[in-house]
Chains A and B, each alone.
Chain A
Amino acid sequence: MAINDKDFEQLRDFIYNICGMYFHTTKKYFLESRLTRRMEATGAKTYQDYFLMLKSPRGSEELKFLMDEITTNETYFFRNVPQLAALENKLLPELVEAKNKMGFRKLRIWSAASSSGEEAYTMAMILLEKRSTLLKDWIIEIVGTDINETVITQAKEGIYNAYSVRNIPDAYKRKYIREDNGRFILSPEVKKFVTFNKLNLYEDSKMIFMKSFDFIFCANVLIYFDTASKSKVVQHFYNNLQPYGYFFVGQSESLHGVNDKFKTVHFPGGFGYKK
């Protein structure tokens, strides 16, 4: 069923206010098709009916199903291109300069919802390229954490499908990926920079030990948390971030109203958060 502008805006605002995720107008047809599935499943006849149900007491249950539909649980290498470009061209060189002055040549990066490892390994590839220049003699530590042990096992294996590797620039692909019968195998050179552990972001006693990171990534996870949990988790990220570091969320996410300590730093096509 075609969604009109008013219904689209209403649902977009609702999802944004509850989850902190913005649906761009270009995603209207995507939202439309996913909503249609949920409407069929719940018996809602119109978008208005469905919207009213979402707002009703049983709405929080339905919202989980809707979120599963609208956040394709996909991940792939070199996913957030503007973010990576900013990091590589500006944020990383600035950070390296600042830490060089202090004589502290160590870089720590955390992929806080690492899934099968693509984000963490993307960072490893980018940094590896700078091993002989910007990051010469630097210690690099990349940590990936996830609540799900199955994906952690996959991450440790470092074997991917064509979909996962489709965005890797050719120069990187040639160097760090080997194809074997439709499977794409990551080179040990990249793998050795990254360690993966199980971690529940809700678990305060574990979170306080994730110390001193320069860059923290947490994409498309906070959208599932309620505001109070979001604030708590983001506060941990804030505490665990170095003074020069940056915290990044996913491409259409927003921390507005979640944490007022972070400062937003804008760059072409995106933004990051700084202490």
Chain B
Amino acid sequence: MDKSQMMERAEILVGAVDDLPTIPIVATKVLQLLDNPDVSVEEVADLMLSDQVMTARVMKLINSPVYKPTQEITSLKRALVYLGLRHVRELALTTSVINAFDGTSGALELNAFWEHSFGVGMVSKIIAQKIGYQDLEKAYISGIIHDLGEVFLSNFLREPFMEVLEYIKVHPVKLVDAEAELLGTTHCEIGLCMARKWNFPDAYCDVIAYHHSPGEANVDPILCAIVNLADLFCTVRELNYGGREWISFNLSDEEAWTILKNESPTFANMDVERFCYELDDAIPDVKELVSSIFSPA
């Protein structure tokens, strides 16, 4: 199916939903506030504190194994100082996305969805580090939000999406290919429509749209390749929506592998086997992180 046709179909589907979750006003305000170069930590903290759910999530994220503070950080202001204001924007974005879908129900189990997403975030950050990518948090956040479109499909196209999930149980094909075949569009196009509605920064829109085809990315093909590879690894190492998707891949045939090797020649010598085994070891951390984020405050 043609990419532009899939995009058209996604726009129709997303446009037809009246009760699409919104990103909290506070998040939008935080994003706006952070565009002002003279903003102070106090101002941002005050604004964020007005949204208790967001504050609680930020505190959980900051104390998670991903950010690894040496001591537990207990005040939002300290969290913002620790992170640096540059990263607050991303944190606000992530926590809002999590909030937007919290408590919803669909064809996918949300817990398994976020385990995959945070797993891809973590692995994206590791790969970013290995290739010397300049912004590790951006890679992390990109991983977390890359599959946003799946939640839409799961919630608002529940029945047809269930059929897709049934289909991949018996056919060894990628989820994204099954979506294109059965729904006429994929979570990439759907996610892009949502990200645009929510005014996501361009780099994130790019990741959402091209994390399965990094070579087509417009803004940051390297970032898309990082997330693509992280996604592949997570899918084969138990962070795969609770075992739903079948993927097999030959690294040397993957576009993302070529892109990243060109970016960082030493990356080609990576011990892929060991990387997989270490990923197995990290899975309990990811599951713990997700369950801590979603446990009642």
Binding site for B on A (CB under 8 A): 16, 22, 24-26, 86, 89-91, 93, 252-257, 263-271, 274
Interface of A is mostly: mixed
Interface pair B281/A24, CB less than 8 Å apart: yes
Instruction: List the B side residues contacting A268 at CB < 8 Å.
Output: 235-236, 238, 240, 243, 246-248
Write the B184-217 contact mask toward A (1 if CB under 8 angstroms, else 0).
Answer: 0000000000000000000000000000000000
Binding site for A on B (CB under 8 A): 172, 232-233, 235-238, 240, 243, 246-252, 271-274, 276-277, 280-281
Interface pair A269/B281, CB less than 8 Å apart: no
On whether A256 and B271 interact (CB within 8 A), knowing A22-B277, A266-B232, A267-B236, the answer reads yes
Interface pair B238/A265, CB less than 8 Å apart: no
Interface pair B274/A266, CB less than 8 Å apart: no
Instruction: List the B side residues contacting A254 at CB < 8 Å.
Output: 271, 273-274, 277
Looking at the assembled complex, report how far the CB atom of B244 sits from the nearest CB atom of chain A, in whole angstroms: 10
Looking across the interface, which residue of chain A has its beta carbon closest to that of B250?
Answer: A265
Interface pair A256/B246, CB less than 8 Å apart: no
On whether A25 and B236 interact (CB within 8 A), knowing A254-B271, A256-B273, the answer reads no
A271 to B271, CA, bound (A): 13
A270 to B240, CA, bound (A): 14
A274 to B237, CA, bound (A): 19
Q: Which of B172, B235, B243, B272 lies at the interface centre, i.e. has the most chain A CB atoms within 10 A of its CB?
A: B172
Interface pair A265/B248, CB less than 8 Å apart: yes
18 A-B contacts, Cβ less than 8 Å apart?
A22-B273, A22-B274, A24-B281, A90-B248, A253-B273, A254-B271, A254-B273, A256-B271, A264-B250, A264-B251, A265-B248, A266-B249, A268-B235, A268-B243, A268-B247, A268-B248, A271-B236, A271-B276
Looking at the assembled complex, report how far the CB atom of A269 sits from the nearest CB atom of chain B, in whole angstroms: 7
Instruction: List the B side residues contacting A255 at CB < 8 Å.
Output: 273
On whether A252 and B250 interact (CB within 8 A), knowing A264-B272, A268-B236, A269-B237, the answer reads no
Interface pair B246/A89, CB less than 8 Å apart: yes
Looking across the interface, which residue of chain B has its beta carbon closest to that of A22?
Answer: B277
On whether A89 and B250 interact (CB within 8 A), knowing A24-B281, A254-B277, the answer reads no
Interface pair B247/A271, CB less than 8 Å apart: no
Looking across the interface, which residue of chain A has its beta carbon closest to that of B237?
Answer: A269
Interface pair A267/B247, CB less than 8 Å apart: yes
On whether A86 and B248 interact (CB within 8 A), knowing A24-B280, A268-B235, A269-B236, the answer reads yes
Instruction: List the A side residues contacting B277 at CB < 8 Å.
Output: 22, 24, 252, 254
A24 to B172, CA, bound (A): 28
Interface pair A264/B273, CB less than 8 Å apart: yes
Looking at the assembled complex, report how far the CB atom of B17 sits from the nearest CB atom of chain A, in whole angstroms: 33
On whether A274 and B248 interact (CB within 8 A), knowing A252-B277, A264-B272, the answer reads no
> Of B240, B243, B273, B281, which one neighbours A271 at CB under 8 angstroms?
B273
On whether A266 and B248 interact (CB within 8 A), knowing A256-B271, A256-B273, the answer reads yes
Interface pair B246/A90, CB less than 8 Å apart: yes
Instruction: List the B side residues contacting A91 at CB < 8 Å.
Output: 248
Interface pair A267/B248, CB less than 8 Å apart: yes
Instruction: List the B side residues contacting A253 at CB < 8 Å.
Output: 273
Looking across the interface, which residue of chain A has its beta carbon closest to that of B170?
Answer: A89
Interface pair A266/B251, CB less than 8 Å apart: yes
Q: Which of B248, B249, B271 lies at the interface centre, i.e. has the most chain A CB atoms within 10 A of its CB?
A: B248
Instruction: List the B side residues contacting A269 at CB < 8 Å.
Output: 236-238
Instruction: List the A side residues contacting B238 at CB < 8 Å.
Output: 268-269
Looking across the interface, which residue of chain A has its beta carbon closest to that of B233?
Answer: A266
Looking at the assembled complex, report how far the CB atom of A90 sits from the nearest CB atom of chain B, in whole angstroms: 5
A91 to B246, CA, bound (A): 12
A264 to B238, CA, bound (A): 18
Interface pair A263/B274, CB less than 8 Å apart: no
> Of A93, A256, A265, which one neighbours B249 at CB under 8 angstroms?
A265
Looking at the assembled complex, report how far the CB atom of B138 sits from the nearest CB atom of chain A, in whole angstroms: 26
